[in-house]
Amino acid sequence: MKLVSPAFHHRLLFLAAMLILPIGAALAGPGPGPGHGTGSPSAFSSGAAGKEADVTRTVTVVMRDTLFNKREIEIRPGETVRFILKNKGEFLHEFNIGSSYSHAKHQKEMIQMMEMGMLTPTGVDGAKMNMPRGGIGNLPMVHADANSVLVKPGETKELTWKFIKFPNLEFACNLPGHYQAGMVGRFKVKG
């Protein structure tokens, strides 16, 4: 029996998830309201957008197709970390800080955004992203939360976060199929 490379295995998992997740979303019914949170730091119990002046260290995370170069990142209570996020893969990726529960909820929103054409496997359609979607106040669905950033192939972006509480925090990519294919890591609290 011939073994396949890990990269090929990850691509197969990703493709399978891309086919299965939209079917599951359709069976589950309509998703939550008009979009991703408010973008307000107060919307998160685990932390808030960090201030540049408070950064205590910088962590570089490299994104490849269906994996991060780190599986675990150590953090300290009250620490403000600047994350440098480099996408060296072929697909659009997300770096999102949250619990497994919040990631599961966020994945449903990301599926909606893909179905509406706002997100593609490799990018963001800015025109569709800002169109009204109905729901509460006919607001547009946006991807503008302080704990999350989308990074296109070849791009480098930053996210600065102040860690306050630690409810089993993970960092993950919630584009359809990416989390399920292993694009998730955990934050380990160091005393």
Tens-place pLDDT, residues 111-160: 988 888 889 999 988 777 766 554 444 444 556 688 999 999 999 999 99
Q: Which domain holds residue 77?
A: 6-189
Least confident of 12-21, 71-80, 164-173: 12-21
- Is residue 1 in some structural domain? no
Rounded to whole angstroms, the Cα distance separating 139 from 130 reads 9
pLDDT at 142: 58
**Mean pLDDT taken over the chain:** 78
> Residue 81 sits in a domain of what CATH number?
2.60.40.420
**Count of structural domains, the chain:** 1
- Strands of 88-169, DSSP E: 93-98, 148-151, 156-163
pLDDT at 96: 95
Tell me the three state secondary structure of residue 118. coil
